[in-house]
Amino acid sequence: MEYLIEYGMFLAKVVTLVLAVIVILVALASAGNRQRKGAAKGHIKVTKLNEHLEELLDSLKKAVLDKHRLKLDLKSKKKQEKAQGKSERAATRSDSDQEEERKKRIYVLNFKGDIAAQAVASLREEITAILALATDKDEVMLRLESPGGMVHAYGLASSQLMRIKAQKIPLTICVDKVAASGGYMMACLADKLVAAPFAIIGSIGVLVQLPNFHRLLKKNEIDYETITAGEFKTTLTPFGEITQKGRDKVKQDVEDMHALFKQWVKDHRPSVDIDRISTGETWVGIQAKERYMVDELKTSDECLVAACESADVYEVEYELRKTIHDKVGSIFRGMIEAAAATFMEKNDSRNFYS
C-alpha cells in the first residue's frame, strides 16, 4: 500500500511537470503570434563611433592621469567645446552652403556571413537607409567576415554592394578574419580592400557535393521514384542512381559557374593574375597582397581610428525584431556553441602549441 502511495505521488509530480511545460510552450507560442501581428520587421540603430572612442579615451585618462593633469585636460576640452559652440551659433550660412562645407561622413556596416548569407536581410535595409542620405563625398566602410556559401545568396549580397557603387559612393571593405569564396566575391567590389596580415583570403572556386544512398536502397530492395519533365531537371540526387550523363552535366555547370566567378573578380580587380589565383586556394593577407588581391594590410580598428580623426563616423545596424521563439532558440544555440567552443579549446590546447 505504501508503495502505491509513493508511486501515485511520483506520477502526480510527473504529470504536473509535463502540464507546466505545456503551459509555458503555449504561452510562448501565443506571445510570439501577438508579437508578429502588425509588428515592424526591425529598426535602424546608429552609433557615432567618434563619441565611442572619446568615451574610451576619457575612461583611460581617469584611470591613468593624476588629478592635476586630468583637471587641465578637462578644462582644455571644455574650452574647445565652447569655442566650437560659438562658431556654430554664429554661422548664418544657408543649408546648401552648410552641406557643402560639412565634414565627411563614413557609414560603417558589418556583415558576418554564413553558408546562406542570411546577414543580407539586414544589409539590404542598411544600404537602403544610407543611400537615402549619403553623397559621393561620403564613404561606406564594410567590415566583412565570411567563409562563403551558396552562389545565389552571395550573388544577392554582392548586388547590394553594387548599389553603393552605382551611386559613386566610395566603398572600403575591411577583412579581419576571412573573406573566402562568396566572401571574396563581395570583397573584390571594394574601391579599397583592406585585410589583416593573417586574414584568410581567396578560395575562388566552386564546389558541389552530396552523399548518394542509391546502392544502399537497392541492396535493401527499396525503390525510389522520381518523375520529371526536362532532360536535366535532375542530375545528382541523394537517392537516385548517378549516371555519367548527369555527372557530366553537373561538372559542366560547375565549370561555367567558375568561369563566371573568375570573370567577376577580374572585372572588379583587373590588377590580379586571375589564372594564378583562381585555383580554389586561400592565402593569408600578406600573401594576398603580394598577389594584388588586397590593397592594404591593416585591421578594421586601425581604419576606424584613422577615420574618426577627420570624419564623422557612424555605425549603422538594422536589427531584425526577434520573436520569443527566436530569443529562446538563441539562448539554447548559445549554450550549445559555448559548450562546443570549450570542448574544441581544450582539445586544441592538447594538440597545438604556439
Catalytic residues: 181, 233
What DSSP designation does 270 have? Answer: T
With beta carbons less than 8 A apart as the criterion, state whether 149 and 116 touch: yes
Q: Look up residue 148 and give its three cell numbers.
A: 562563403
Q: 195-198, long-range: CB within 8 Å, 24+ apart, which pairs?
A: 195/285, 195/288, 195/289, 195/294, 195/296, 195/297, 195/298, 196/285, 196/297, 196/298, 196/299, 196/300, 197/284, 197/285, 197/286, 197/297, 198/284, 198/285, 198/286
Angle at 187 between CA 186 and CA 188, to 5 degrees: 95
* Nine-digit cell string for 295: 590593397
**239: DSSP letter:** S
